[in-house]
């Protein structure tokens, strides 16, 4: 088995060779949401291909690079493109970058995604603060031989998403007069979009949105004791009785159209972490 702890240290050292600053916040930008990286100042970009042991991103709308710098006066490291189980990566590799960001110094994780809206009150372009998730991927990144250096064997998952961050996100949306919900994200394996029966099942299980990411990363963040802000952009309405076809290109375009809302929330919350002058 690979030595994950050693690989994390190797990648962290490689990043420090390019950018010798400890980040406070790690950010994972999902499909169509990579534009937030353009707001990072004094940016240093590092291609995933230039990092040892680092997976490669193949999904639509994922640039495949780290962008390191300052956002709202706070040091951040952002993934402009993430990894998915449906790309063939095992769950521990999907979440591997979270371990790297934490090893560099990040104690906060902001994770975003594009998701289908199951809740009938949600509209395309709305933002949802993730309050909790349901793992229907049936994969867990912690399934492996136990290595106590990586964190506790049985991390608690009663509150993987930080309540205070969620409250702040909703308050920011109210101040800027756009819709922001709070609900449950359901993670599915993909890469197929769900059937009508699956959408009905997800709704009956308590889901408000459904997607193909986020869950593995948040599980590892919980193991590491990181505070997590999760944000979903509703990119398509999933009404089982009036279901139309969905394409990856349409999802990316819808996510990009709502990027300003996401940016407003993330900059607002990250800015609260800035040291007073």
Q: Are 141 and 220 in contact (CB under 8 A)?
A: yes
Among the ranges given (49-58, 138-147, 182-191, 237-246), the one the predictor scored with the smallest mean pLDDT: 237-246
Has 213 been labeled as part of a binding site?
A: yes
Mean of pLDDT values over 219-237: 94
What φ, ψ does residue 169 adopt, rounded to 5°? -60, -45
Sign (positive or negative) of CA dihedral 216, 219, 223, 227 = positive
pLDDT at residue 257 above 80?
Answer: no
Q: What does the pLDDT look like over 143-169, one tens digit per residue?
A: 998 899 999 999 999 999 999 999 999
Q: What is the pLDDT of residue 258?
A: 80
Domains and CATH numbers, the chain: 22-143+157-271 (3.40.50.1580)
Tell how strand 65-71 and strand 41-47 pair up: antiparallel
pLDDT at residue 36 above 90?
Answer: no
Has 62 been labeled as part of a binding site?
A: yes
Has 5 been labeled as part of a binding site?
A: no
Mean of pLDDT values over 214-231: 97
Among the ranges given (61-65, 196-200, 247-251), the one the predictor scored with the smallest mean pLDDT: 247-251
Q: What is the pLDDT of residue 1?
A: 56
pLDDT at residue 277 above 50?
Answer: no
CA separation for the pair 253, 27 (Å, rounded) = 20
Count of beta carbons in the 10 Å neighbourhood of residue 176: 13
Q: Calculate what percentage of the chain has a pLDDT beyond 90.
A: 73
Q: Are 76 and 26 in contact (CB under 8 A)?
A: yes
Has 83 been labeled as part of a binding site?
A: yes
Task: Return mean pLDDT, the chain.
Answer: 90
Among the ranges given (33-42, 176-185, 239-248), the one the predictor scored with the smallest mean pLDDT: 239-248
CA separation for the pair 70, 125 (Å, rounded) = 27
């Amino acid at each position: 088995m690979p030595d994950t702890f050693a690989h994390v240290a190797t990648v962290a050292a490689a990043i420090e060779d390019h950018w010798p600053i400890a980040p406070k916040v790690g950010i994972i930008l999902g499909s169509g949401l990579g534009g937030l990286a353009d707001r990072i100042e004094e940016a240093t970009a590092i291609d995933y291909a230039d990092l040892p042991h680092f997976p490669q991103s193949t999904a639509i709308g994922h640039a495949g690079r780290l962008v390191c710098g300052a956002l709202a006066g706070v040091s951040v490291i952002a993934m402009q493109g993430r990894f998915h189980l449906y790309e063939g990566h095992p769950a521990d590799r999907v979440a591997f970058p979270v371990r790297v960001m934490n090893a560099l110094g990040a104690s906060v994780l902001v994770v975003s995604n594009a998701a289908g809206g199951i809740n009938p009150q949600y509209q395309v372009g709305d933002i949802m603060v993730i309050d909790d998730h349901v793992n229907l991927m049936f994969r867990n990144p912690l399934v492996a031989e136990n290595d106590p250096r990586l964190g506790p064997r049985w991390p608690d998952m009663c509150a993987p998403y930080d309540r205070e961050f969620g409250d702040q996100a909703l308050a920011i949306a109210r101040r800027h007069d756009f819709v922001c919900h709070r609900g449950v994200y359901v993670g599915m394996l993909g890469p197929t979009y769900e059937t009508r029966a699956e959408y009905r099942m997800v709704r009956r299980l308590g889901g408000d949105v459904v997607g193909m990411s986020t869950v593995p990363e948040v599980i590892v963040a919980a193991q590491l004791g990181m505070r997590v802000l999760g944000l979903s952009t509703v990119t398509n309405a999933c009404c089982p009785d009036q279901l139309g076809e969905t394409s990856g290109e349409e999802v990316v375009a819808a996510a990009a159209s709502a990027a300003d809302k996401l940016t407003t929330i993330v900059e607002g919350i990250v800015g609260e972490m800035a040291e007073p002058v």
